[in-house]
Amino acid sequence: MQYFPLFVDTTQLNVLLIGAGDVASRKLELLSRTQANICVIAIDVAPDIQAYADSKRITLLQRAVADEDIENVDLIYLATANEALNARLAHLATAQGRWVNVVDSPELCRFITPSIIDRGRLQIAISTGGAAPIFARELRSRLESWLPYSLTSLFDFVAERRKEVQQRLVSFKERKLFWEHFFKANGDKFDDNTAQCYEDSFLNLISDGDILLIDDKTPITLLPIAAMPLLQKLDHIFADQTLPLALNELVRRDATRSALTATSDLTVLLEKGARNLIYADKETILQLKADLPMAKYLTAGSL
């Protein structure tokens, strides 16, 4: 993984954008949505960028850039038409430990800006590591059509009530069940029924337990799509061997991990509503399936 995705708190972040043409304007359209302090330096200024300056959203310095301009800033975007200037400032910024992005020159970038889907508190970033930005935009377009704009209001509603849920439900397990029930009942909409779904979810904090079985001969990439939500809800993972990377990427990251345990222990956990995964060799899994007929044996393409 060459590029590690991060979500940066833009409060009090100082951003410098060098250049004020059409390319810089596209970057500024995104940056202006944040809470960052933005300074733009350029001699020639596009009308869109001038409008940001007129509205006091940015600080505009209409002059040539100087080396000392890159001091005391957190992020630098270089978007001039002068490739030599971009490269020189990029090397200077990197030498000073600054985070720099040179538009259309990933080899000079300390960071890159992904394709972004903005639904208020819900942010989705898509990147191909600079290799295929056109594909990233295509994928963004598909996801945009699946994600309603009501998610912005929905997550504002959720954020305003997180403390109340923590006060009313002491245990983490209860809170997890609460939010599972809420989102299952409410879906991705925000309407007159959302508040009622919220209150109703306090009344239904019972979880149906689960036992999932996967043997080490099953290609993880061929698991059924229906298994994915189950893997994301796991409470416990039992295995005497390291999970393959592909499976590790699918399971809930904060599920407890332990060595294989007795069938009786699994039955007790099931009765308590816990969701469990057992990963082992095929012989062990087949024996567990015989001992635990209620378990779901996940194989290639079937659930």
pLDDT confidence bin for 23, thresholds 50/70/90: confident
Q: What angle do CA 144, 130, 72 make, to 5 degrees?
A: 100
Query: Is the predicted pLDDT of residue 302 greater than 70, yes or no?
Result: no
| Residue 177: per-residue pLDDT | 92
pLDDT confidence bin for 257, thresholds 50/70/90: very high
| Residue 106: per-residue pLDDT | 85
| Residue 194: per-residue pLDDT | 97
Share of the chain above pLDDT 90, in %: 84
Query: Is the predicted pLDDT of residue 133 greater than 90, yes or no?
Result: no
Share of the chain above pLDDT 70, in %: 99
Q: What is the pLDDT of residues 201-246, one digit of tens each?
A: 999 788 889 999 999 999 999 999 989 999 999 999 999 999 999 9
Are 61 and 146 in contact by the 8 Å Cβ rule? The answer is no
- The Cα–Cα gap between 16 and 77 comes to 6
Are 244 and 220 in contact by the 8 Å Cβ rule? The answer is yes
Closest CA to 114 of 1, 7, 19: 7
| Residue 303: per-residue pLDDT | 62
Q: What is the pLDDT of residues 69-122, one digit of tens each?
A: 999 999 999 999 999 999 999 999 999 999 999 988 888 999 988 889 999 999
Q: What is the pLDDT of residues 271-289, one digit of tens each?
A: 989 999 999 999 999 999 9
| Residue 164: per-residue pLDDT | 97
| Residue 125: per-residue pLDDT | 93
- The Cα–Cα gap between 153 and 125 comes to 20
- Write down the mean pLDDT value for the chain: 93
